[in-house]
Amino acid sequence: MLQTDTRTVYDEDLNVFRDQVRKFFERALTPNLDRWEEEGLVDRAFWLACGEAGLLCPTVPAEYGGLGLDFRYNAVIDEELSYAGSSAGITLQSDIVADYLVNYGSEEQKRQWLPKMVSGEAITAIAMTEPGTGSDLQGVRTTARKDGDHYVVNGSKTYITNGQNADLIIVVAKTDPNAGSKGISLILVEATREGFKRGRNLDKIGQNSADTSELFFEDVRVPLANCLGEEGKGFVYLMSQLPQERLGIAVSGQAGAQRAFDEAAKFTKERRAFGQAVFEFQNTRFTMAGLKAKLQAGWAHLDWCIARHLEGKLTAAEASAAKLFHTELQWEVCDAALQLHGGAGYMNEYPIARLWRDARVQRIYGGTSEIMKEVVARTI
């Protein structure tokens, strides 16, 4: 269980909320984890249950069915979900997609989609990555060409979280292929549109219960009113939203690291070798001590980042540094924790195996660690 006694950004209301989240996950999530891993999908019943429990899109204003809370409530959910060992895509909907609709959506778009996102009736995705384009979003090749009062969308996307379940996809597309970053727009595409097809639910190393898909758009016609915000402002919107996206990944990384540490502490104190607990060997104790020191610093830094974000002061470079630090720490702790399990760590029956597998992609999506270093380096 995550210890929050020394946290500086949470008050009693947040602690009560965390207790509710924790109990809900114990009841509705943990018993289903293995099944979802095997099926490669979190079923829609869980999304509806999350909506009923108030765990989807808590920052959405009340007039659109939300709770009108601040990002700390998202962070609590992110932490508890990651600590539970789940990769369910609810955080993408709450931390990323919801803010695009709230900040840039028309009144009609907000009223049509936000209440359903809050309730879990609508599942959303954001389609950025393409087979030949990853972190360099200016290189996207998907197009949205005007034809009368419609856009005609053509292209393909890959590695799209919630791709198999999504009812609505925010598609990053070129509305003016000759205008560089100023020619990028965000287009809302409903999954019911003719010409939209889902590809494979991709076979991944980890995060198996998170449906990650190929998406195809072949002459998909959507009304011009489906443009999210202003045409040509998509790249600006994407860059504006990156700090919260990367902070959310950092939050999950820190909580995942803590869970791996706790698993290692439990295992090494119970497993005996050469007449004593594995924890009693100096190598184990010193390894764990070093990790604990880094986790202590990590939690303090995370609270600093969340506090700055609440004030609207967290910069893109600071958020990138946070993602870099916390996801690299997650991998370090998960790998060390697996090593301390010995051969048992390589067995799927132990939680550390899943934690280790699921952690690897954290240093890739949302911007690779190398891109994070580049963003930070530009400020030096």
Domains located in the chain, CATH noted: 12-122 (1.10.540.10), 125-231 (2.40.110.10), 235-377 (1.20.140.10)
What per-residue confidence (pLDDT) applies to 135? 66
**Distance between CA 92 and CA 127 in Å, rounded?**
12
**Distance between CA 263 and CA 284 in Å, rounded?**
13
What per-residue confidence (pLDDT) applies to 137? 74
Structural contact between residues 160 and 129, judged by C-beta atoms closer than 8 angstroms = yes
What per-residue confidence (pLDDT) applies to 71? 98
Phi, psi of 250, deg, nearest 5: -60, -40
| Helix, strand, coil percentages for the chain (3-state, nearest 5) | 55, 15, 30
DSSP label at 348?
T
With 0.85 as the threshold, say if the pTM is over it. yes
What per-residue confidence (pLDDT) applies to 134? 64
* Grouped pLDDT means (10 residues each) for the chain, 380 residues: 93 97 98 96 97 98 97 98 97 98 98 98 96 76 96 97 97 94 96 97 95 97 98 96 96 98 98 96 98 98 98 97 98 98 97 98 95 97
Residue 317 CA, chain-centre distance (Å), reads: 19
Q: Which residues form the catalytic set?
A: 245
Structural contact between residues 334 and 356, judged by C-beta atoms closer than 8 angstroms = yes
